[in-house]
Amino acid sequence: MFYRLMFYFQDGLQGLGLWKFVNVFRYQTFRMAFAMVTGFFLLMVFAPVVVRMLRRLKVGGAADFRNETVDRLYASRAGTPTMGGVLILAAVVLSTAIWADLANFYVLLGILTVVWLGVLGGVDDYLKLVKKNRDGLRMWEKLVFQIGLAVILAYFLHRTGESSIVLPENGKGIALNLPFYKFPIHLGFLAFALVSVLVVAGTSNAVNLTDGMDGLAIGSTVPPALVFLVLSYVTGRVDYSSYLYLPYVPGVGELAIFCGALLGASLGFLWYNCSPAQVFMGDTGSLALGGAIGYVALATRQEVLLLIAGGMFVLEAASVILQVGYFKATGGKRIFRMSPLHYHFQLGGWTETQTVVRFWLLGIMFAALALATLKLR
């Protein structure tokens, strides 16, 4: 908003001698930093009001982990307000609207992603918490909307990127970029749509699976969000992207502001979600956060790097897939004490705080490794 208003009133500002003071709003790095600060403080300001409202509405309840030991461990948190993800959505959308260029194609798709998946998660939370439907939306119902969003994103990203994205070695178009390898693999629309479905659905559901301990999911979101903030900025600049053998995606630098808003909102929510949590984000927040990171990976053409930057989420999702597959194949045997993976370690003797902090540390290491690969091509 400020970005467009600045140019709209440019003549008047120059006449008043104020242009040199507002000219700073042109710079993505400035707006990126202030989007982060704005997202943080918006959430801090509105969280107490929203938490009290959720308590009055009794939007919470005893979680059923289908494990007697874990149910007992978390029995004291029955009634803690859920659906706090609405705070994250509001902070991300508002701070993005204030600091980003709303005429930018990539920013609009980012806002669409968080709103779409936030509404999907909100419906799921509403059915579970208000209507007391134990399972909420069925998995296939969630997948229908996740796949629908992914196909829409794939269509617009592919149509725009085919003519505008400049690949390393002077090629153009949509391609799969691999870490440690500087030659991209071109993708047709169907292949790109499949990749988009895997990334959007996979990332949003992986963050959702990680959301089980105070601060775990929201804290684990920060490192990959920071990685893709850097990647958005670098990929949107022809000089930096050329130097690092990354695709140059014109206009995608504005997603650095979107990622800054995402970071600020996540840190603000962590203030209220750290142990003991005053509010849980629910599916409203976890599906939207995961989908947003997946979308930025698609827009910056770094889907494979997401597997490294979001390695913590990959481990959590993989533990569920392995556990379910092995259980069915062996007629009831298990690999882990319980899945997702964080419960396996808690049932093995780690405290909740130890588990959360150690998973955060692993997430930071995965993010550092992802950034290190940018120079290894």
pTM, to two decimals: 0.93
Give the phi and the psi of residue 345 in degrees, each rounded to 5. Answer: -75, -35
In the chain the beta strands, taken as DSSP E runs, fall at: 175-176, 185-186
Check pLDDT > 70 for residue 18: no
Radius of gyration of the chain (CA): 21
pLDDT at residue number 16: 65
The two structure tokens encoding residue 308 = 């490294």
Q: Give tens-digit pLDDT for 57-115.
A: 877 665 666 666 676 766 667 778 888 999 999 999 999 999 999 999 999 999 999 99
pLDDT at residue number 119: 96
pLDDT at residue number 93: 97
pLDDT at residue number 67: 67
Give the separation between CA 303 and CA 317, rounded to whole angstroms: 16
pLDDT at residue number 163: 82
Q: Give tens-digit pLDDT for 105-164.
A: 999 999 999 999 999 999 998 888 877 766 778 888 999 999 999 999 999 999 998 888
Q: Give tens-digit pLDDT for 329-369.
A: 998 899 999 989 999 999 999 999 999 999 999 999 999 99
pLDDT at residue number 109: 97
Can you say how many angstroms the Cα of residue 44 is from the centroid of all Cα atoms in its chain?
A: 19
Q: Give tens-digit pLDDT for 303-322.
A: 999 999 999 999 999 999 99
Cβ distance 99 to 257 under 8 Å? Answer: yes
Cβ distance 300 to 228 under 8 Å? Answer: yes
pLDDT at residue number 131: 73
